[in-house]
Amino acid sequence: MKTIKAFAMSAAILLIMTNMESFGLEKSGNAVTEKTEILTPKPLAKPRINGPLVYGCRPGHPFIYRIPCQGERPIHFEVKGLPKELILDKKSGIITGKTPAKGEYDLILEAKNSKGNDERKLKLVAGDKLALTPPMGWNHWYAHYDRITDQMMREAADVMISSGMADVGYQFVNIDDCWMNAEKNNDPLRVGPLRNEQGNIIPNKHFPDMKGLTDYIHNKGLKAGIYTSPGPRTCGGFAGAWQHEEQDAQQFTNWGFDFLKYDWCSYGELAGEKVTLDGYQKPYRQMGKILKSKARDIVFNLCQYGMGDVWKWGGEVDAHCWRTGGDLGFELDRIFDVALKNAEIGQYNKPGEWNDPDYIQIGWIGNANKMGIPELTPMPVNMQYAYMSLWCLLAAPLIYSGDMSKLDGLTLSILCNHEVIGVNQDPLGKCGSVLKHNADCFIMVKNLADGSKSVGLFNRGKSAVDVTAEWAELQITGKHAVRDLWKQTDLGLYDQKFTAQVPSQGVVMIKISK
Ligand code: GLA
């Protein structure tokens, strides 16, 4: 609770002591003091409905959607235009039922409390496509590695609600590797038979009731994700789906999972040394087809580190997002390079098909090389703002992967700025393009559905500098309104250009509208 209150203290000045050696910043003694502030304003007491403006779902399948809404509870919800197959719980704002017949349904979501009311449009697109905006949620990997348990997953779902993350659109609670049995492992509770006599996969003893777990997550209006590999073993050495693909997909469906991460891992041993394009695609094409045949909306996340230019064919094998490179891991100073590389393949991003540069790792995260217990990220705070801004401008999946039980106010404020997230969830689904200004500075420009542009002014250098976005390079002319998205404040009308002082390794993120 304490941590959540800290978020409410927006504009509080934090004195952050961080070890910045690995980021090439000057330091005094062993640490540098960095003065920074929480930029995201405190949410208002009156309701504010967030979340995507379009939502893809498949006819006849189970439907679940929790209206993301900030503001003091209790909030009373209403929905205009709700198809008869769907039911709204007016207290929680959770919509359930069966997705109606193919078509587009224009809903008006309404929220009211003693302080005021809000409404927002949501277009349900019942058809073939899912993930019309980048998936948002949490994944256990960088916090808990092979220590993950059912209890931790439930706790993450609890915190997704209590922290307010779900109120800005975070939705998936995803298990990564290590929920199955292995033949060998240091933890005896994770060792056991991989499958039963019928060949059904057996979760390890830390996961005694998979259906109970997804029910728990669904009862909160959230969605559940799971992980496996097309190989005989996962990257962590646990049972993979090889030769049981259909059976495992059916099991995941029966358990009630809504998201599958499918990680290449030991499949490499089967694919051989010289893998053809067809060889890269084969296991994913197979699973994509299987998942599509199931009576459940399951978002399909490929994890094969970008091999065979996956961004060119991920959509074709019925995937919704795909990792574009190796694990981001603990070398977080790579975020700028990774983002720039992703921007180069940005043309492959579109609604329902997203490049995935890996998870958001801020707050308490573990060192992937050591499978370590979480520690507070050594990333400078300004770079954390840059990180979140880049992922939003790239239209990357927003999957947080830190320790949910240790969320602090600053981390939450960076994860939960609804205007910044709005850029990520924009229905046009464009990836930002990069205009390099010099060795240190660049801007990233993302066109938005309402005709405006979101622009990140980035500075990778060691000291603050002025960065200018010229209207000519943005291909606009005349007076435009500029809004600071992190601070959620209008900066005024600008003609020809906008200049801001950008902190070292940081960002200023704006929206430019006519
Ligand atoms: C690979 C993936 C990671 C994680 C681990 C689990 O390294 O890239 O994201 O899923 O496997 O073992």
Which range marks the domain in which residue 444 is found?
433-513
Let me know whether 242 and 294 are in one domain: yes
Mean pLDDT of the chain: 93
Residue 4 within any structural domain of the chain: no
| Atom number in ligand 1 closest to CA 261 | 10
Higher confidence at residue 64 or residue 33?
A: 64
Let me know whether 258 and 307 are in one domain: yes
Within 10 angstroms of residue 448's Cβ, the number of other Cβ atoms is: 17
Q: What is the CATH number of the domain that holds 248?
A: 3.20.20.70
Pick from 68, 100, 126: which residue ends a domain? Answer: 126
Q: Inform me whether the pLDDT recorded for 390 exceeds 70.
A: yes
Please confirm whether the linkage preceding 74 is cis (ω < 30° from 0). Answer: yes
Distance 387 CA to ligand 1 centre (A): 20
Looking at residue 8, its pLDDT comes to 37
Task: Tell me which residue has its CA closest to atom 1 in ligand 1.
Answer: 235
146 lines ligand 1 (CB under 6 A): no
Let me know whether 266 and 333 are in one domain: yes
Number of domains in the chain: 3
Let me know whether 282 and 143 are in one domain: yes
Q: What is the mean pLDDT of the segment spanning 278-284?
A: 98
| Atom number in ligand 1 closest to CA 236 | 12
Please pick, among 167, 176, 177, 263, the residue that the annotation labels catalytic.
263
Q: What is the CATH number of the domain that holds 487?
A: 2.60.40.1180
Closest residue by Cα to residue 459 from 386, 396, 395: 386
Distance 176 CA to ligand 1 centre (A): 8
CA angle 407-444-496, nearest 5°?
A: 125
Residue 36 within any structural domain of the chain: no
Let me know whether 454 and 416 are in one domain: no
Let me know whether 272 and 365 are in one domain: yes
Residue 117 within any structural domain of the chain: yes
- Which tens digits make up the pLDDT trace of 211-234? 999 999 999 999 999 999 999 999
- Which tens digits make up the pLDDT trace of 87-125? 999 999 999 999 999 999 999 999 999 999 999 999 999
Q: What is the CATH number of the domain that holds 84?
A: 2.60.40.10
Closest residue by Cα to residue 13 from 42, 36, 40: 36
Residue 13 within any structural domain of the chain: no
Let me know whether 246 and 287 are in one domain: yes
Pick from 101, 126, 151: which residue ends a domain? Answer: 126
Distance 193 CA to ligand 1 centre (A): 22
- List Cβ neighbours of 293 (8 Å cut-off, separation of 6 or more): none
Rounded-to-integer distance, Cα 318 and Cα 444, Å: 29
Whole-model pTM above 0.75? yes
SS3 445: strand
Let me know whether 143 and 199 are in one domain: yes
CB burial of 227-261 (b: ≥16 within 10 Å; e: otherwise) equals bbbbbbbbbbbbbbbbebbebbbebbbebbbbbbb
89 is annotated as an active-site residue = no
Pick from 126, 145, 180: which residue ends a domain? Answer: 126
Rounded-to-integer distance, Cα 301 and Cα 293, Å: 16
- Which tens digits make up the pLDDT trace of 4-43? 433 333 333 333 333 333 333 333 322 333 456 899 999 9
Let me know whether 142 and 99 are in one domain: no
177 lines ligand 1 (CB under 6 A): yes
Task: Tell me which residue has its CA closest to atom 11 in ligand 1.
Answer: 235
Rounded-to-integer distance, Cα 28 and Cα 35, Å: 14
Residue 28 within any structural domain of the chain: no
- Which tens digits make up the pLDDT trace of 161-188? 999 999 999 999 999 999 999 999 999 9
Let me know whether 243 and 204 are in one domain: yes
141 lines ligand 1 (CB under 6 A): yes
Distance 327 CA to ligand 1 centre (A): 7
Let me know whether 479 and 338 are in one domain: no
Say if CB 204 and CB 219 are below 8 A apart.
no
Say if CB 482 and CB 36 are below 8 A apart.
no
Rounded-to-integer distance, Cα 24 and Cα 309, Å: 32
Residue 15 within any structural domain of the chain: no
Let me know whether 79 and 141 are in one domain: no
Q: Looking at the DSSP assignment, which residues form a beta bridge with residue 230? A: none
